Structure 1
Amino acid sequence: MESKAVFTHLANLLQFCIDKKAHLSGKILHGYIFRNGLSADTFLSNRLIKFYSKCGDTSTARHLFDKMPLKNIFSWHAMLDGYCKASKLKDAHEVFAAMPERNTVSWNTLISALVRSGFEREALDVYHLMNLEGFMPTNFTLASVFSACGAFVDVDCGRECHGVAIKIGLDKNVFVANALLCMYAKCRGIDDAIQAFGDLSIPNEVSFTAMMGILAESGRVEEAFSMFRTMHRTGIRIDSVSLSSVMGVCAKDGSGEFGITSESYGFPSNMHGQQIHGLTVKLGFERDLHLINSLLDMYAKKGDMTSAAVFFNNLPETSVVSWNIMIGGYGQKHDIEKALDYMQRMLYQGFEPDDVTYINMLVACIKSGDIEIGRRIFDRMLCPSLSSWNAIISGYSQSENHIDAIKLFREMQFREVPPDRTTLSIVLSSCAGMGLLEGGKQLHAASIRALFHMDIYLASGLIGLYSKCHKIEMAKCIFNKMPELDIACWNSMIAGLSLNSLDKEAFSLFKQMLGKGLLSTQFSYAIILSCCANLSSLSQGRQIHAQIAKDGYMNDVFVGSALINMYAKCGDVDGAREFFDEMPFRNIVTWNEMIHGYAQNGRGEEAVSIYEDMIESGEEPDAIAFVAVLTACSHSGLVDMGIEIFNSMKLKHGVDPLVDHYTCIIDALGRAGRFHEAEALIDRMPYKDDPIIWEVLLSSCRVHANVSLGRIAAEELFRLDPQNSAPYVLLGNIYSSLGRWEEAKVVRKLMSDKQVSKNPGYSWAEPKNRMEVDLNDDYRMMVDEFEAANL
């Protein structure tokens, strides 16, 4: 009896050492057990193995295990559990394979360890083996398996396991059901999740919280709030986790489609958030730091930085997370000064910035367009993370400073920081922007080495690169070899075909995309409308317009701008204006398209009128707007109005005139025969070596038979662009029109001596929705121009 009491006392002492991880005390007990010859006892040895495993000393635990004369299933489980908790999965596999007998606990221990360590596929393989050996899964098994399916985004396997849960009656188990909901959330199986939630007889706070997250992520914000209200009304305990989750829902609320927010209906955009804030105070969670940060994040994501600042300044305590939220919030508002101010205050109060702080600051600088400050912040970082590298490279790429983006990428390689798919995609975009084909090919090779070449995200970037470098066959090859394609890949390929003047192929591919059941995006419609415009196919453009209305994109400002461009280029400028007047939202692109549409169709006065309406609406014209309105003035003979608008560019709107603006004004003056003013403008402009300027002037000289100025313009073009046939044709035509045949022959001979050839012309028509092109390979225009000279 006394011996049994000693055993019980020793076992209790060992359990105490296990619970408290009392390593030294446990070793003393081990010494006592060894000295008193009790080491052969299986029960005490199992406790010792568990103790050493809990203290992280698996080598001693394994030594004890190997020395045990008699092992039972608990001995094997103790060793297996020790290796699993220490994440020594290779050793765990060895122990598992050597077990003389296994039960459900053995399988569960290994499966859960694999899931915890990120080996989800291996965990699923072990689960399938468990089924083959005839073991029935428990609630712990299924919870781990659902977690693996979610992490691996394997919804088919998840549904199969869901069926198993129903078959063995575990689908009603709250523990299993909650894991099932989380799995469907990660796999975007919103309908499956709703059905699984409905099957729960008694959902708990975890079930409701999971469903709120699923609905919010799917954009069904009101349903997520309804779920929270149901949870509240049914008396289910609301904890800080539930409140933090619903706060995430509040952050998404009101960011409606097409720019429509809850404020449009007279409610504050963060109304729900304010209500949950009040509930937080009522339930006494106002000092919970995690929840406080969720509240702060909600105000910041809603763009209500005034409320966020008031709330932040009254916090009883803050953390690095709190400061990061404020810096990130001001960054999203493009307020770089406030973001810098909060970072300085953070440092002053003794908080050490982390990687998130620097990334938020970098994003703030990039969004504010201040890449120089962003670079200074980046250079201060001793060991920038991959996210920091991606942020600063992206900043350079977005600001079209592609050379520095590529230089930084090279520096990143020298520092042996391995790129991810985001890095490669950003740098591919810069290579495409520069037309740097060789650099893009090297990145393609790097993506193959890093096993990213079948990545959908990267594939769209590669298609874009080869398309912009006019290697459309290579782009097609990548597109056709992808085992799976998302909407971004389809859009990239359609855009690439259009960019390479293959608009009919682009249209055909768009139809294929719709046939496969993919839903078009705003970008898809903008591209295909551009194709219709390039093909001057009004009938197909109207069909796309009808589809846009059906899909609910009529209020999208970018799609609307593309529609205006399509109608105007197809000659239906009144249809473009009708749609323009109906648009609820407009931006500078929309106004520019409408002005340009009138300009293209020779309706200059209306173009000037809508330009004036744009200024009156408060929209500031940009360089493109001035090109459009000056073109309209030029084509409609509104010379004085054009000069007035040109002079107002810098004085009233702060826009420096570019070569295109000078070209428009010189064209207007030349068409009107005001050559002295045109010459004076050319003398003082900074773009004297641009061939387009001289070609425009020469064309006007041909109309007005201005031989002296025409000869000067032609000579400048011979110098600047010697292989361009236009100046020879135009100068020769000036001489021909005046009967100066000998001089016309001299020009033609000069053209022949320099081996300058004229590209063939073409004509097109659109009978019954198809394009027919007639190439004129016989230099018909050239013969017409010089027919008189051949007499």
Structure 2
Amino acid sequence: MKQNGIYPDHNVYPSVIKCSTHLMWVKFGASLHGSIIRVGLEMDLFTANALLSMYAHHVFDKKSRVLDGMESVRRVFERMVERDVVSYNTVVLGYVKSGMFNEAMGVIKEMGSGGIKADAFTLSNVLGVVKERMDVLKGKEIHGYGIRHGFDENEFVVSGLSDVYTSCNMVEDSYRLFCSLRQKDCVSWCSMIAAYVQNGLFDEGLRLFRQMISAGIKPVPVSCSSIIPACAHLTTLPLGQQLHGFIIRSHFDDNMFIASSLVNMYAKCGNIKLAKYIFDSMKQHDLVSWTAMIMGCASHGHAYEAISLFKQMEVEGFTPNSVTFVAVLTACSHAGMVNEGLTFFNKMVEHYNISPEFEHYACIADLLGRAGKLEEAFRFLCKMPENKTTSAWLPLLAACRVHKNVKLAEKIVACINEFDSDNMGAYVLLSNTYSSNGRNKDAANLRSMLSKKADRKKPACSWISVEKKVHAFSAGDESHPYYVGMINILDILFGHMVKQEYVADYTAPTVC
């Protein structure tokens, strides 16, 4: 075009800049910027907006000799004589993608001062900031603004609000927002299903998934990967198998995220062989699939295989994260591999610079406790930066019962009582420790205190699925229709145990 003596104008440059942005031609885009300055089109609104978009999409490195993307965006933005809502939206989006949330909120305020009204794109961008900050009050403020200006039906705004409410554990508000939509597409269904599952409402997530199918919405890979964890946590293997069959029929089984979810689901549901088969069949692995497989092997007692997988993962160039180390430490704990467990813990801290969390401390404490190194485990837990987590202390307390160390058990319960005095599990274990040492009077006194506390607690519940029907049982509940029959079967089993000369250990009763 230039060779023919025709010079680009304000209609040409924005299109060319857009092409360079999509093609990721960084240096070419920078040269276009120089050309625009030379011909005096830098003040043109559409050209400047195109430049903003280009810089906002790229954060350039030092080798390209171009300034950091957001610094370039700010410079172009500040030189603009005229700005519109697109200009502000582009800058806000750039800051959000760069994780510079304070700067993004500053531009939003600047936008209001400049008399520019926010549109749906602005709201969806700023909701990303609100979600990261978990600022539910600001989220509700934006929700109200959206309703007043007619953006409450916009799918991007609704999706952003749903994410805010979900991150703040306000699933009911997210569901009301979902129900208010006149037309629900696959994105809105998937967002709501993911909200339920992420907040531990697995039954509700499954119910909504069924409703989506009944409404004629065809599931996509994202919806499948969102609902599989619900089957894993509920250990509903038949339902998970049905979902797996649907995934195969829909040709989603090649999806890496779905395959990783299936590995995790089958491992948690007890079918470690099928989990391993799916893992080995994957064309490509990610850190999630490696971690799921390692944890699956660890949970099923295949400690050596779990450690072998961990080392293979490192050889293939994957960097383990915090969850991966929980998996391999769990394997060491279950197998009693004390030296290996401590080696992995030190490697996590010194080699990978990962700060230990209470799960890692709990694994090491459990490992040392199983090996009888109770005092060492106690000193190890005392090193925790925040040792106000009961679940980290309970494995060691259980080890005190096994090794009949009453003195340390009392010390641990005293520690737990400082920050969690209502935890019944600690008192149950202490009572069992008393019983195992013949201190029946102390155990009886503690059980008496527990029975008074138990009146204020909801009893624990367990369940089993038999012939597609779930049977639930709770402590002291005799309402099951087959209760009498089950008691008779238990009497028969106890009779067989006596004939086999099995002597039950009644010195450590479980307090319900």
Normalised-by-shorter TM-score class: 0.7 to 0.9
Query: CA offsets per residue over residues 674-704 of structure 1, 9 Å max, x none?
Result: 2233233234442333333222321222232
**Counterparts in 2 of 1:327-476, with a 5 A limit?**
332=57, 334-337=59-62, 341-343=65-67, 361=73, 386=85, 418-428=117-127, 436-476=135-175
Aligned partner letter, 1:523: V
Equivalent position of 2:465 in the other structure: 766
2:381 counterpart of 1:682: yes
How far is the alpha carbon of 1:552 from its aligned partner?
A: 3.4
**Counterparts in 2 of 1:523-542, with a 5 A limit?**
523-542=222-241
Q: Which of residues 301, 322, 334 in structure 1 aligns to 2:22?
A: 301
TM-score (norm 2): 0.77
Q: Which of residues 192, 199, 209 in structure 2 aligns to 1:510?
A: 209
Equivalent position of 2:344 in the other structure: 645
Aligned counterparts of 1:380 and 1:772: Cα–Cα separation in 2: 69
How far is the alpha carbon of 1:667 from its aligned partner?
A: 1.8
Equivalent position of 1:712 in the other structure: 411
Aligned partner letter, 1:598: C
C-alpha contact (below 8 Å) 1:561/1:593 kept by paired residues: yes
Aligned partner letter, 2:372: G
Query: CA offsets per residue over residues 231-256 of structure 1, 9 Å max, x none?
Result: xxxxxxxxx8xxxxxxxxxxxxxxxx
Equivalent position of 1:670 in the other structure: 369
How far is the alpha carbon of 1:378 from its aligned partner?
A: 8.6
Aligned counterparts of 1:463 and 1:315: Cα–Cα separation in 2: 42
Equivalent position of 2:183 in the other structure: 484
How far is the alpha carbon of 1:426 from its aligned partner?
A: 4.6
C-alpha contact (below 8 Å) 2:73/2:91 kept by paired residues: no
Equivalent position of 1:622 in the other structure: 321
How far is the alpha carbon of 1:327 from its aligned partner?
A: 8.3
Aligned counterparts of 2:207 and 2:176: Cα–Cα separation in 1: 17
C-alpha contact (below 8 Å) 2:401/2:429 kept by paired residues: yes
Aligned counterparts of 2:18 and 2:94: Cα–Cα separation in 1: 24
Q: Which of residues 573, 576, 584 in structure 1 aligns to 2:272?
A: 573
Shift in alpha-carbon separation, 1:757–1:766, aligned structure 2, 3 A: same
Aligned counterparts of 1:599 and 1:510: Cα–Cα separation in 2: 31
RMSD over aligned Cα atoms: 4.4
Query: CA offsets per residue over residues 560-585 of structure 1, 9 Å max, x none?
Result: 22122112121122212222222222
Shift in alpha-carbon separation, 1:578–1:477, aligned structure 2, 3 A: same
Shift in alpha-carbon separation, 1:408–1:477, aligned structure 2, 3 A: same
Q: Which of residues 730, 748, 768 in structure 1 aligns to 2:447?
A: 748
1:743 is paired with a residue whose SS is: helix
C-alpha contact (below 8 Å) 1:725/1:756 kept by paired residues: no
How far is the alpha carbon of 1:519 from its aligned partner?
A: 3.4
How far is the alpha carbon of 1:654 from its aligned partner?
A: 2.6
Aligned partner letter, 1:765: I
How far is the alpha carbon of 1:422 from its aligned partner?
A: 3.5
Shift in alpha-carbon separation, 1:550–1:381, aligned structure 2, 3 A: farther
Shift in alpha-carbon separation, 1:611–1:789, aligned structure 2, 3 A: closer
Aligned partner letter, 1:695: L
How far is the alpha carbon of 1:644 from its aligned partner?
A: 0.8
C-alpha contact (below 8 Å) 1:456/1:484 kept by paired residues: no
1:689 is paired with a residue whose SS is: coil
How far is the alpha carbon of 1:647 from its aligned partner?
A: 0.8
Equivalent position of 2:251 in the other structure: 552
Aligned counterparts of 2:36 and 2:81: Cα–Cα separation in 1: 31
Query: CA offsets per residue over residues 692-739 of structure 1, 9 Å max, x none?
Result: 322232122223222122111110100111111111111111101111
Shift in alpha-carbon separation, 1:577–1:788, aligned structure 2, 3 A: closer
Say which is worse superposed, 520-529 or 608-617, in terms of deviation: 520-529
Aligned counterparts of 2:454 and 2:357: Cα–Cα separation in 1: 33
5+ long unaligned stretches in structure 2: 479-505
C-alpha contact (below 8 Å) 2:378/2:396 kept by paired residues: no
How far is the alpha carbon of 1:789 from its aligned partner?
A: 9.8
Aligned counterparts of 2:159 and 2:100: Cα–Cα separation in 1: 21
Aligned counterparts of 2:180 and 2:424: Cα–Cα separation in 1: 43
C-alpha contact (below 8 Å) 2:349/2:356 kept by paired residues: yes
C-alpha contact (below 8 Å) 1:705/1:738 kept by paired residues: yes
C-alpha contact (below 8 Å) 2:60/2:67 kept by paired residues: no
How far is the alpha carbon of 1:745 from its aligned partner?
A: 3.2
Say which is worse superposed, 519-528 or 382-391, in terms of deviation: 382-391
Aligned counterparts of 2:301 and 2:252: Cα–Cα separation in 1: 30
C-alpha contact (below 8 Å) 2:231/2:239 kept by paired residues: yes
1:560 is paired with a residue whose SS is: helix
C-alpha contact (below 8 Å) 2:303/2:331 kept by paired residues: yes
How far is the alpha carbon of 1:613 from its aligned partner?
A: 1.0
Q: Which of residues 327, 334, 355 in structure 2 aligns to 1:635?
A: 334
1:335 is paired with a residue whose SS is: coil
Aligned partner letter, 1:693: A
How far is the alpha carbon of 1:476 from its aligned partner?
A: 3.4
**Counterparts in 2 of 1:96-115, with a 5 A limit?**
none
Aligned counterparts of 2:79 and 2:453: Cα–Cα separation in 1: 58
Aligned partner letter, 1:764: W
How far is the alpha carbon of 1:506 from its aligned partner?
A: 2.5
Aligned counterparts of 1:696 and 1:379: Cα–Cα separation in 2: 59
Shift in alpha-carbon separation, 1:581–1:500, aligned structure 2, 3 A: same
TM-score (norm 1): 0.52
Shift in alpha-carbon separation, 1:505–1:758, aligned structure 2, 3 A: closer
Aligned counterparts of 1:634 and 1:747: Cα–Cα separation in 2: 30
Shift in alpha-carbon separation, 1:305–1:471, aligned structure 2, 3 A: closer
Aligned partner letter, 1:602: G
Structure number with higher relative contact order (C-alpha < 8 Å, ≥ 6 residues apart): 2
2:66 is paired with a residue whose SS is: helix
Aligned partner letter, 1:441: K
C-alpha contact (below 8 Å) 1:472/1:497 kept by paired residues: yes
Aligned partner letter, 2:311: E
Larger radius of gyration: 1
How far is the alpha carbon of 1:670 from its aligned partner?
A: 1.4
How far is the alpha carbon of 1:288 from its aligned partner?
A: 5.3
C-alpha contact (below 8 Å) 2:57/2:94 kept by paired residues: no
Aligned counterparts of 2:54 and 2:202: Cα–Cα separation in 1: 42
